[in-house]
């Protein structure tokens, strides 16, 4: 098996007072071992829910998750604990994801203690080693998170995720709460760690430049559904879905004189509560016609490794059938 | 690198210093230390009453009833001419024991119930909170009266009766505090790491939900001591000759206009105890929070 993670038709619905909210709807993807899948999309499109559902922080509604060749869709409490040794998560906000009552060493030791990996002197050694790995000075051993800046706190979060030497880490916008200068440091650290420990990342973000830097593949989500999924360089050159086009057009270019043509999205977002059988982007799509409001598009492999869910992908992009 | 190697021994020295850190933060808080000193004195009074005052608190001097403070009777005498100072010193033992024991029991049970209800929510929360509602619906005094009436008049029963009345408040306070902590991201992070529910409650939720509980301890302590007086008032408190602040207070209530000092001294004793525990509790709450500057 070269794919570490395989997700098939994953669905996660939330019950709300106004009805069933389709947070993640029929999403399928694979992540090869040692690679990074970047997941992008606007706020509320279900990227975080997807990440959390994959590692069982939310109970899925339906679908299948294969991890390392094993079906982990339905696991009991005991299996889940064993599973979490291999799947960890780095959280978005390093200010609220660390227990304020624990010191740096306690925070990093926590996973090791939970899984009874080591104790006493050995524990201390391991914690110091981990601090070294993520670039935390050892004098911070007894500090508390509130005494540290965002970058250092996120390093604690990374050290915690690494403590059990997992195979797979879900990174839920790990840098979006940080300053730009620190973002680069953390991203580089994560890339170095990936190489060193053969980690597989699922990298959730809304920052296109970050995702381009770190990802091997990119999946674009819109209102709980996958709209486009392909190689990360490909998406910057050859994007087929109208939403992806608009999304990438919205990325600012750091050049004063260059003016680029922007396709702006207009119209209302479809409600994620009880969406009908339609393309969820139809209300905002300039190319939408009758069929878009009648049928949910299925994902198609337009060219090898490039999946798009759009009824009119060929006409829009002047592609021929079976290209 | 060289520098970091050198710092290793320092870390070893500091490793188990969490308790010392808390102690240091506490000691910097002067009012809290003052509270601790008063508590310390009260404990000494409670432990050695016969050395610090007369050995017998029942000696009557009927010719000298309601006398004011004098060289012989420092705080005067009561309605039977018994030395007020002696009775207050001896009363310290009864009042502190009943107060502390009942609050400790109520706190242990109430915090457990509140944490479980707040953390798990759902059906468990509903069941536990309805039980608490039943406890709340009965006035504390009435609850105490019925329990003492049913089980007999002894200190153990009294402690139990007063504790039962305090459980509701503890579980309510704990529950609401736990609910705010339960949904924080660090609890979710702990769950993602693989921590069990028990560990999350003990190491993540409770420490962060502690502040209102400590405040509740100090208020309940005062309430409990006064509750004893309420029960004594209807004759179900501590049996007669045993001195106890609450009963002294309620005995003196009838003659308050003529001899105000009778009500003042036990009142001051209760006030001082509550005051000391309040200061101590506030200091403890702050000392336990590493986020506050040293």
* Cα B104 to Cα B150: distance, rounded to the nearest angstrom: 23
- pLDDT for B132 equals 92
Contact A100 B208 (CB under 8 A): yes
Of the residues B185, B208, B285, the best mutation for testing chain A's interface (the one with the most A CB atoms within 10 Å of its CB) is B185
* Cα A218 to Cα A247: distance, rounded to the nearest angstrom: 13
Q: Cβ distance A148 to A140 under 8 Å?
A: yes
Contact A141 B4 (CB under 8 A): no
Distances (CA, A) of A315 to A65, A168, A203, A227: 34, 39, 32, 16
Within-domain flag for B38: no
Q: How far is A269 from chain B (nearest CA, A)?
A: 28
Within-domain flag for B34: no
What percentage of chain B's residues is helix, strand, coil (to nearest 5)? 75, 0, 25
For the four alpha carbons of B246, B252, B257 and B262, in that order, the dihedral sign comes to negative
Contact A101 B290 (CB under 8 A): yes
Which residue in A has a C-alpha nearest to residue B191's C-alpha? A57
Domain of B160 in residue numbering reads as 93-287
Within-domain flag for B58: no
Of the residues A75, A99, A100, A142, the best mutation for testing chain B's interface (the one with the most B CB atoms within 10 Å of its CB) is A99
Which residue in A has a C-alpha nearest to residue B16's C-alpha? A142
A118 exposure class (CB count in 10 Å sphere: 0-12, 13-18, 19+):
middle
* Cα B285 to Cα B29: distance, rounded to the nearest angstrom: 11
Contact A84 B193 (CB under 8 A): yes
Condensed to tens digits (0 to 9), the pLDDT of residues B216-241 reads 998 888 788 878 877 876 777 777 77
- What ipTM score was computed for the predicted complex, to two decimals? 0.84
- pLDDT for A321 equals 59
Q: If one looks up domain A3-86+166-243 in CATH, what number appears?
A: 3.40.50.300
Q: Choose the weakest-confidence range: A270-274, A293-297, B74-78, B101-105.
A: B74-78
Contact B289 A101 (CB under 8 A): yes
- pLDDT for B4 equals 43
Q: How far apart are the first and last CA of chain A?
A: 29
Name the residue among A101, A111, A124 with its Cβ closest to that of B208. Answer: A101
Q: Choose the weakest-confidence range: A76-85, A312-321, B22-31, B108-117.
A: A312-321
Nearest to B172 by CA among B131, B223, B144, B225: B131
Paired tokens of A234: 């490909």
Q: Does the pLDDT at position B2 exceed 50? A: no
Contact list in B for residue A124 (CB cut-off 8 A) is 15
- The verdict on B180 touching A (C-beta cutoff 8 Å) is no
Write the CATH number for B199: 1.10.3720.10
Q: How far is B175 from chain A (nearest CA, A)?
A: 19
* Chain CA centroid to CA A151, Å: 20
- Count A/B contacts: CB-CB distance under 8 Å: 77
Within-domain flag for B188: yes
Contact list in B for residue A114 (CB cut-off 8 A) is 193-196, 199
Strand order, beta sheet including A3-16: A19-32, A3-16, A62-67, A70-71
Contact B290 A96 (CB under 8 A): no
Number of domains in chain B: 1
Contact A103 B207 (CB under 8 A): no
Q: Cβ distance B29 to A159 under 8 Å?
A: no
* Cα A53 to Cα B193: distance, rounded to the nearest angstrom: 15
For the four alpha carbons of A280, A282, A284 and A285, in that order, the dihedral sign comes to positive
Condensed to tens digits (0 to 9), the pLDDT of residues B149-193 reads 898 888 889 899 999 989 999 999 999 999 999 989 999 999 999
Name the residue among A91, A114, A141 with its Cβ closest to that of B185. Answer: A91
Condensed to tens digits (0 to 9), the pLDDT of residues B130-148 reads 999 998 898 888 888 888 8
* Chain CA centroid to CA B224, Å: 8
H/E element, B170? helix B155-182
What does the mean pLDDT of chain B come to?
A: 84
Contact list in A for residue B11 (CB cut-off 8 A) is 138, 141-142
Q: How far is B165 from chain A (nearest CA, A)?
A: 32
- pLDDT for B16 equals 53
Which residue in B has a C-alpha nearest to residue A86's C-alpha? B193
- pLDDT for B71 equals 74
Which residue in B has a C-alpha nearest to residue A54's C-alpha? B192
Nearest to A39 by CA among A283, A269, A225, A187: A225
Phi, psi of A247 (to 5 degrees): -60, -45
Name the residue among A103, A139, A160 with its Cβ closest to that of B193. Answer: A160
Contact A88 B184 (CB under 8 A): no
Name the residue among A100, A111, A146 with its Cβ closest to that of B193. Answer: A111
Contact B186 A99 (CB under 8 A): yes
Q: Cβ distance B200 to B190 under 8 Å?
A: yes
Taking only the tens of pLDDT, chain A with its 323 residues reads 588 999 999 999 999 888 888 899 889 999 999 999 999 988 888 899 999 999 998 888 999 999 988 888 888 888 898 898 999 999 988 889 999 989 999 999 999 999 988 888 999 999 999 999 999 999 999 888 988 988 999 999 999 999 999 999 999 999 888 888 889 989 999 999 999 999 999 999 988 888 888 999 999 999 888 999 998 888 888 888 888 888 888 877 777 777 667 777 777 778 888 887 888 888 888 888 888 888 888 888 888 888 999 888 888 887 765 54
Contact list in A for residue B189 (CB cut-off 8 A) is 89, 91, 97-98, 157, 160
């Amino acid at each position: 098996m070269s794919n570490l993670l395989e997700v098939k038709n994953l669905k996660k619905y939330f019950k709300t007072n106004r009805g069933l909210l389709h947070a993640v709807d029929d999403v399928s993807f694979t992540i090869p071992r040692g690679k990074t899948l970047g997941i992008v999309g606007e706020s509320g499109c279900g990227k975080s829910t997807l990440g959390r559902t994959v590692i069982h922080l939310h109970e899925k509604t339906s679908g299948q998750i294969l991890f390392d060749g094993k079906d982990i869709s339905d696991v009991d409490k005991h299996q889940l604990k064993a599973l979490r040794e291999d799947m960890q998560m780095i959280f978005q906000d390093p200010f609220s994801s660390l227990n304020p009552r624990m010191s740096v060493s306690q925070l990093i030791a926590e996973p090791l203690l939970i899984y009874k990996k080591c104790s006493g002197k050995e524990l201390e050694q391991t914690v110091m080693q981990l601090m070294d790995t993520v670039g935390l000075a050892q004098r911070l051993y007894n500090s508390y998170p509130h005494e540290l800046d965002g970058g250092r706190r996120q390093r604690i979060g990374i050290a915690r995720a690494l403590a059990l030497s997992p195979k797979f880490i879900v990174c839920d916008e790990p840098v979006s709460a940080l300053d730009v200068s620190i973002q680069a440091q953390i991203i580089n650290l994560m890339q170095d760690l990936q190489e060193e420990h053969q980690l597989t990342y699922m990298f959730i973000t809304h920052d296109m430049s970050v995702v381009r830097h770190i990802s091997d593949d990119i999946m674009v989500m819109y209102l709980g559904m996958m709209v486009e999924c392909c190689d990360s360089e490909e998406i910057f050159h050859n994007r087929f879905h109208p939403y992806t086009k608009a999304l990438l057009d919205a990325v600012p270019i750091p050049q004063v004189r260059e003016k680029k043509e922007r396709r702006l999205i207009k119209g209302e977002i479809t409600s994620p509560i009880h969406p009908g059988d339609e393309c969820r982007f139809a209300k905002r799509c300039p190319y939408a016609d009758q069929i878009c409001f009648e049928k949910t598009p299925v994902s198609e492999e337009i060219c090898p490794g490039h999946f798009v869910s759009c009824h009119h992908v060929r006409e829009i992009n002047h592609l021929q059938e079976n290209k | 690198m060289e520098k970091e190697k050198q710092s290793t021994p320092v870390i070893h020295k500091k490793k188990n210093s969490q308790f010392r850190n808390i102690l240091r933060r506490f000691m910097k808080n002067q009012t809290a230390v003052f509270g601790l000193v008063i508590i310390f004195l009260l404990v000494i009074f409670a432990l050695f009453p016969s050395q610090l005052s007369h050995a017998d608190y029942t000696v009557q001097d009927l010719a000298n009833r309601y006398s004011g403070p004098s060289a012989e009777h420092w705080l005067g005498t009561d309605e039977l001419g018994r030395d007020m100072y002696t009775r207050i010193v001896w009363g310290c033992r009864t009042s502190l024991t009943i107060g502390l024991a009942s609050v400790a029991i109520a706190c242990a049970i109430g915090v457990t119930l509140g944490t479980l209800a707040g953390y798990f929510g759902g059906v468990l929360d509903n069941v536990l909170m309805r039980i608490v509602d039943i406890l709340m619906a009965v006035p504390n005094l009435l609850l105490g009266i019925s329990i003492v009436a049913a089980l007999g008049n002894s200190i153990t029963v009294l402690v139990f009766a007063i504790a039962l009345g305090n459980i509701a408040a503890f579980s309510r306070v704990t529950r609401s505090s736990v609910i705010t902590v339960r949904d924080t991201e660090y609890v979710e992070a702990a769950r993602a790491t693989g921590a069990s529910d028990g560990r999350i409650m003990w190491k993540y939720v409770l420490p962060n939900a502690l502040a209102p509980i400590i405040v509740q301890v100090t208020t309940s302590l005062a309430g409990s001591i006064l509750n004893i007086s309420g029960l004594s008032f209807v004759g179900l408190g501590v049996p007669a000759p045993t001195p106890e602040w609450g009963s002294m207070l309620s005995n003196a209530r009838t003659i308050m206009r003529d001899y105000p000092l009778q009500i003042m001294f036990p009142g001051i004793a209760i006030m001082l105890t509550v005051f000391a525990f309040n200061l101590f509790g506030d200091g403890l709450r702050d000392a336990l929070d590493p986020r506050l500057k040293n």
